[in-house]
Structure 1
Amino acid sequence: MARPRPVEFDKVKVVAENRRARYDYFIDDKFEAGIALQGTEVKALRFGEGSIVESYAEVKDGEVWLINANIPEFSHGNRHNHEPKRPRKLLLKEREIAKFTGATERQGMTLVPLSVYFNGRGRAKVELALAKGKKAHDKRETTKDREWKREQGRLLKDHG
């Protein structure tokens, strides 16, 4: 029987990516979530500004919130501009929220945003992952495996 394909989301324009997350965490499940944004936040994201490097998500009162994501103020905004690091509500189904709640409370997992992007319909989305933190020896082992795979590719290319 064929192995199931990993979930791929329709990423038309990637705005921000958390590349460090794959180094610091074991990624378990990936989910796509919408973000409740204000008008100037959407405009700032469309200009390619934004960062989720130090951000995380948490479940609070049956809702999921994106904490510490930085979307800088829009340059052409007026006095109604947004606050850059405000908590932003993530739009998910109740079943997904229940799964997140159980995983974070019982299994000690973390909700890590992997990327912020616009999908094919022009909606801003967050790729959210259930992840478990790596220890220092796990990070060394991951680096060693990645370097060995790279070396294998070089050897096969040279002698192939």
Structure 2
Amino acid sequence: MARADERKYAAQNRRARFDFFINETIEAGIMLTGTEVKSLRAGRVSIAESYAGERDGELYLINAHFPEYQLAGRFFQHEPRRPRKLLVRRREMDKLFAAVRRDGVTLIPLSIYFSDRGYAKVEIGVAKGKKKGDKRETEKERDWQRDKARLMRAKG
């Protein structure tokens, strides 16, 4: 598997780390149709408003937008916002469902990328929502890190 910093991301949820505390992350496979894979490789997928949830004892990616692949015919298209099944081992799935029920956390997709073998993977974060004050703290910390880097460059 490629290291996290070397991955070629097909889609990222940049807002997730600002809006949520990410407790842990897991990697899951995703079941896609052919036109969905083509759309993902084209980099047109949006996971900004999506989440992972339980349906019939399985884990699904809900509300992710995979736009129609324009080069395919009308009859071979997929539905852009359909729920997509995530492939996770039963033990991990049960642990995630228990955390959602017990702790009130949310399962947020952080990114979608292709593995070395060419399979589409989703990085899911077990997240707890931030309050307004927490978001301000995050912003202050980010500003301080930026200013600190500027000072170090100016001196060095």
What is the TM-score of this pair, normalised by structure 2? 0.91
Q: Distance in 2 between matches of 1:62 and 1:86?
A: 17
Q: Which amino acid aligns with 1:71?
A: F
Q: Is the 8 A contact 1:11 1:117 kept in 2?
A: no
Q: Is the 8 A contact 1:32 1:128 kept in 2?
A: yes
Please state how far the C-alpha of 1:45 moved relative to its aligned partner: 1.1
Pair 1:55–1:142, CA change in 2 (3 A):
same
Partner of residue 115, structure 2: 119
Q: Provide the aligned C-alpha RMSD in A.
A: 1.5
Residue 60 (1) aligns with residue 69 (2): no
Matched residue of 2:82: which SS? Answer: coil
Q: Which amino acid aligns with 1:21?
A: A
Please state how far the C-alpha of 1:12 moved relative to its aligned partner: 4.0
Q: Which amino acid aligns with 1:100?
A: L
Partner of residue 95, structure 2: 99
What is the TM-score of this pair, normalised by structure 1? 0.89
Partner of residue 24, structure 2: 29
Q: Is the 8 A contact 1:14 1:118 kept in 2?
A: yes
Partner of residue 127, structure 2: 131
Please state how far the C-alpha of 1:11 moved relative to its aligned partner: 5.8
More helix by share: 2
Please state how far the C-alpha of 1:47 moved relative to its aligned partner: 1.7
Q: Distance in 2 between matches of 1:118 and 1:12?
A: 8
Q: Distance in 2 between matches of 1:118 and 1:76?
A: 21
Residue 83 (1) aligns with residue 79 (2): yes
Partner of residue 4, structure 1: none
Matched residue of 1:69: which SS? Answer: coil
Q: Distance in 2 between matches of 1:113 and 1:156?
A: 35
Percent identity over the alignment is 55
Unaligned runs of 5+ in 2: none
Q: Is the 8 A contact 1:9 1:32 kept in 2?
A: no
Count of aligned positions = 153
Q: Distance in 2 between matches of 1:141 and 1:9?
A: 26
Matched residue of 1:29: which SS? Answer: strand
Partner of residue 153, structure 2: 157
Unaligned runs of 5+ in 1: 1-7
Partner of residue 70, structure 1: 65
